[in-house]
Structure 1
């Protein structure tokens, strides 16, 4: 189980949500926090903000459609930096 209790020797799991819509970040952070109450939940409003972080997350929920740097571009940059963690793409379409 991804969010099972980690041993004291391990660091806290870091889960990041990267979406340009604050409302989506807030909703997902609340839901993920309920599923993984011991995890550190971080939100980013853009790919640039994510790359300015001191440390990359263990799990990343990443919006595909964002201005400036798309989620697909973020994923390519992460791959080029040899980031080998869990990446979950998210997106939404309005009618």
Structure 2
């Protein structure tokens, strides 16, 4: 089975270190950046399967970053993260094309299940388009 490649975008350095360590142990290739601008630059140079994107960040917000991802990388699935207990931000992300959202704190297994589902969703969509 091919390892899933993800990009995690969050301005909390300790969170990024923890999530990278925990997902890497579960056979996921994890890259991290701390803001939306760096995420867009990274994605322009490096293919990934799924983006995990924090909603609230300084500079380019997660919602604005999602809008740019939708414009530039139409097949890339995005899972929005919010640590502020607001489902409204997650719903806004879904309405803008995010695959899913998850509230912090969360279990790593729950996140991994959502990453796998998002990856499979993108794979099937790309296959269907290729068959048309």
Q: TM-score normalised by the shorter chain: which range applies?
A: 0.7 to 0.9
TM-score (norm 2): 0.57
The runs of 5 or more residues in structure 1 that have no matched partner are: 7-11
Is 2:31 the counterpart of 1:42?
A: yes
- CA distance in structure 2 between the partners assigned to 1:81 and 1:15 by the alignment: 17
Taking structure 1 as reference, are residues 18 and 90 closer, same or farther at Cα in structure 2, changes over 3 Å only? same
Task: Spell out structure 1 runs of 4+ moving beyond 3 A.
Answer: none
| In structure 2, distance between residues paired with 1:33 and 1:74 | 24
Q: Which has the higher helix share?
A: 2
Work out which of the residue numbers 82, 88, 95 in structure 2 matches 1:91. Answer: 82
In 2, distance between residues paired with 1:77 and 1:23?
Answer: 26
Query: What is the TM-score normalised by the length of structure 1?
Result: 0.76
Deviation at residue 51 of structure 1 after TM alignment: 1.5
Superposition pairs of residues 1-80 of structure 1, within 5 angstroms: 5-6=1-2, 13-35=4-26, 37=27, 39-53=28-42, 54-80=45-71
Gaps (5+ residues) in structure 2? 86-132
Which structure carries more relative contact order (alpha carbon 8 Å, separation 6+)?
Answer: 1
Aligned residues: 83
- The Cα RMSD (Å) is 1.8
The structure-2 alpha-carbon separation of the partners of 1:24 and 1:66, relative to structure 1 and needing over 3 Å to count, comes to same
Work out whether residues 9 and 51 of structure 2, in 8 Å CA contact, stay in contact via their aligned partners in 1: yes
